[in-house]
């Protein structure tokens, strides 16, 4: 029960992604053990139930992380799509489920990749962190592609191979 209370308390804060992931897996392990203990005395069956519960919890955590990353990518694409080459605009995402920090930065279009039936642009974007008592302000820069899908601009790059995206590399 203390674990569940800790997870609930953490969700009220941002940046609790690791506790969220570990807590979900630990909770699934405890829940799987409880279910297995009530269903069978066979160690192999109990192990299978426990492993299944842990695998389901990990899949759920990875799904929620993908949703958060997709929302962030869509926020950047929405701002970048209408920009002309060389124009710079701010972007920002406020997550509805605070398992990761809200993010902000700047985005610019570095070049138009294609136009006409397939409108795509290469963008350079920053992820900016404000200064705190413990660290100075800093920015990290990334390159991606966005393409028009009807009236909406969408992220068109594979997941960047950077530590920022965690398990999605």
Domain ranges of the chain: 2-67, 71-161
* Spacing of C-alpha 151 from chain mean position: 24
Q: Which residue has the tokens 């609930």?
A: 8
- Identify the CA nearest to 93 among candidates 134, 128, 121: 128
Number of Cβ within 10 Å of residue 99's Cβ equals 21
Predicted confidence band at 60 (pLDDT cuts at 50, 70, 90)?
A: confident
Q: Is the pLDDT of residue 89 over 90?
A: yes
CA distance 140 to 146: 19
Q: What is the pLDDT of residues 117-162, one digit of tens each?
A: 889 999 999 999 998 899 899 999 999 999 998 899 999 887 654 4
pLDDT (0 to 100) of residue 137:
92
User: 29-43, 52-66, 153-167: lowest mean pLDDT where?
Assistant: 29-43
Higher pLDDT, 159 or 77: 77
At residue 142, the pLDDT reads 92
Calpha distance 74→91 (Å, rounded)? 10
DSSP state letter for 8: H
Average pLDDT of the chain is 75
Q: What is the pLDDT of residue 64?
A: 73
Which pLDDT band, with edges at 50, 70 and 90, does 95 fall under?
confident
Confidence grade of residue 19 (pLDDT, cut at 50, 70, 90): very low
């Amino acid at each position: 029960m203390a674990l569940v209370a800790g997870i609930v308390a953490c969700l009220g804060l941002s940046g609790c992604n690791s506790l969220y992931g570990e807590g979900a897996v630990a909770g699934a392990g405890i829940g799987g053990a409880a279910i297995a203990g009530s269903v069978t005395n066979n160690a192999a069956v109990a192990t299978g139930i426990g492993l299944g519960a842990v695998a389901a919890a990990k899949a759920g955590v990875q799904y929620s992380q993908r949703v958060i990353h997709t929302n962030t990518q869509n926020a950047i694409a929405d701002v970048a799509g209408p920009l002309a080459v060389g124009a710079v605009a701010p972007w920002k995402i406020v997550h509805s489920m605070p398992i990761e920090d809200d993010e902000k930065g700047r985005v610019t279009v570095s070049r138009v990749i294609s136009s006409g039936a397939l409108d795509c642009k290469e963008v350079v974007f920053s992820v900016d962190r404000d200064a705190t008592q413990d660290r100075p302000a800093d920015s990290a820069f990334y390159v991606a592609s966005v393409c028009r899908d009807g009236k909406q601009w969408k992220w068109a790059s594979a997941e960047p191979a950077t530590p920022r995206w965690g398990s999605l590399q």
